Amino acid sequence: MISPRLSRENIVAVAIEMADEEGLASVTLRGIAARLAVHVTSLYNHVPTKEAVLEEMTAALLAEAKLPTGPVTWQDWVREFAAGMRALGRKHPGAFEAFHYGPAKGECAAVPFESGFAAFRSAGFDAASTYGAVKATVVAVLGHVLEDTVPARNRKVARTDVSGLPIERFPNVHSVNRVAGKTDTFAYLVEALIAGFAATKKGRARRKAVSN
């Protein structure tokens, strides 16, 4: 239950609640004001635009997520970041879409990324590789979680129907489709990222050794 006291925190909480119930498109300043039983102009001192609301939503969601924030290996950082964002998406399938509109800002949002950068740098990744690995992890994980939340947002299962494709022409499509619903592609993605980062680091080290 949202407190009747008007504050930025309550406005953001209502916005997240609305997004989870009705989808992110339902989040408007007028809609938020109606739920809080105040005039829309009362919101402007706290959140002047819808874009500001979306920015505050992503910051609040990141603060709620159980993301790595301290010393950790880079492999565990990737796994923990992925697990935290996946859990967040399952809890807030509608509000999670706010991440599609831009990154969160501020110190609280930066804490898990500082942890990630430190993890990669301490393992010998250079600055460019560190940025690339963290950025790739964020983009891949957000993309997968956004896809995972489609059924919850649309209230239907998003599955590709291949029944109309002739099996003699598309035998592999039919074969793979039979295991599609039983495969945890998210776990596969996370481990593929880790293996790829490790391989890339070794490859760069070999090329550097040869050039020297």
The Cα–Cα gap between 125 and 118 comes to 10
pLDDT of residue 15: 96
The Cα–Cα gap between 166 and 204 comes to 45
| Range with lowest mean pLDDT among 65-79, 115-129, 143-157, 192-206 | 143-157
DSSP class of residue 63 equals: H
Q: Are 8 and 1 in contact (CB under 8 A)?
A: no
The Cα–Cα gap between 184 and 186 comes to 5
The Cα–Cα gap between 114 and 106 comes to 12
For 92, the token pair is 């807030």
For 182, the token pair is 């039983």
DSSP class of residue 124 equals: T
Q: What percent of the chain has pLDDT over 70?
A: 91
3-state secondary structure of 49: coil
Helix ranges restricted to H, the chain:
8-22, 29-36, 50-64, 74-91, 107-122, 127-148, 150-154, 171-180, 185-211
pLDDT digits over 83-105, tens only? 999 999 999 999 999 988 877 77
For 123, the token pair is 């393992």
Q: Are 116 and 81 in contact (CB under 8 A)?
A: yes
Please indicate whether residue 151 or residue 56 has the higher confidence score (pLDDT).
Answer: 56
3-state secondary structure of 17: helix
* DSSP track, 153-173: HHTS------TTS-TTT-HHH
Q: Which residue has the tokens 């492999």?
A: 75
The Cα–Cα gap between 92 and 145 comes to 11
For 174, the token pair is 């039919």
pLDDT of residue 159: 66
pLDDT of residue 4: 54
Closest to 18 (Cα-Cα) out of 41, 34, 39:
34
The Cα–Cα gap between 116 and 129 comes to 12
- pLDDT band, residue 1 (cuts 50/70/90): very low
DSSP class of residue 26 equals: G
Q: Is the per-residue pLDDT at 3 higher than 50?
A: no
pLDDT digits over 40-68, tens only? 999 998 999 999 999 999 999 998 998 99
